[in-house]
Amino acid sequence: MWVYCVNVNRELADDEFRDLAGTLEPGVAERIARIAHRESAVRALLSDLLARSMLASHSAVSPSSLEFSVGQHGKPGLVSSRWQYNISHSGEWVVCGVSETQPVGVDVEHVREPNLRVARRYFHPRELERLMRQTETERAGTFFDIWTAKESFLKAVGIGISVALNSFWSDDETRTVSIDDPLPFARLGVDIESGWCFDLLPLDADYRLAACSQVREELRCVRLDVDELLRLWRSMITGNTQGVDLWRNTRMWS
């Protein structure tokens, strides 16, 4: 699995935002334009550019040839392709997970004061016990380790919040997901026989990032900044294969 992390180290000017949105299909550009909150709109645009860039690179096709679909519970996917992906964004980071062989889910969250009321309502008893064992200074990081692990699992299986969040739990030692009652998941078509697993990836002290998959596989984490992503995107949409090849070689593409 590849996990691409874009550090949003600068904001986009209005004309730059419009120009980049104009490189996307009208329906996608219109969806992003309808997002009222400026920061959320920029993150949504960068998420889309990141996913299209990486999927096109891995598939060795042009971004315009990618055809997307939406699953029953809202999970995006590619039509007639073995490649699967998932995106997430929060604050200074936009993240995309890509796998050639299996479903993936990623979730990134900005670490802030943990809401213990939320934890008591949505965390499994094992997770809540783990959280409450922490000191106050450790509790925020642990809260978002648990939260991102749970969210990445739900995104990997593609069911959204269609089951009780306290009906499954993330084991910090084995980095696997355990389900108390498999029936609600089976009804939604989740392969509960698989050993769904997750990893907590280093990002920076203020953020937590988790990636989940059906079977554990080697993780390759690549960091970019906004300008590097935009150079790659512009190379791809203009057919500049030298620019794309240079990026691949620099990143030790395999």
pLDDT at residue 71, rounded to an integer? 75
- Closest by alpha carbon to 42, among 61, 21, 23? 21
Mean pLDDT along residues 93-118: 96
Structure tokens of 25? 């299909």
CATH of 2-250, one of 3.40.50.300, 3.40.1160.10, 3.90.470.20, 1.10.10.2840: 3.90.470.20
pLDDT confidence of 254, banded at 50, 70, 90? very low
Mean pLDDT along residues 88-98: 96
pLDDT at residue 250, rounded to an integer? 65
This prediction has a pTM of 0.92
Q: Where are the chain's structural domains? A: 2-250
DSSP letters along 154-218, please?
HHHHT--S-S-GGGEEEETTTTEEEES--HHHHHTT--TTS--EEEEEEEETTEEEEEEESS---
Which has the minimum average pLDDT: 12-21, 36-45, 185-194?
A: 185-194
pLDDT at residue 69, rounded to an integer? 87
Question: pLDDT of 213-223, one tens digit each?
Answer: 999 989 999 99
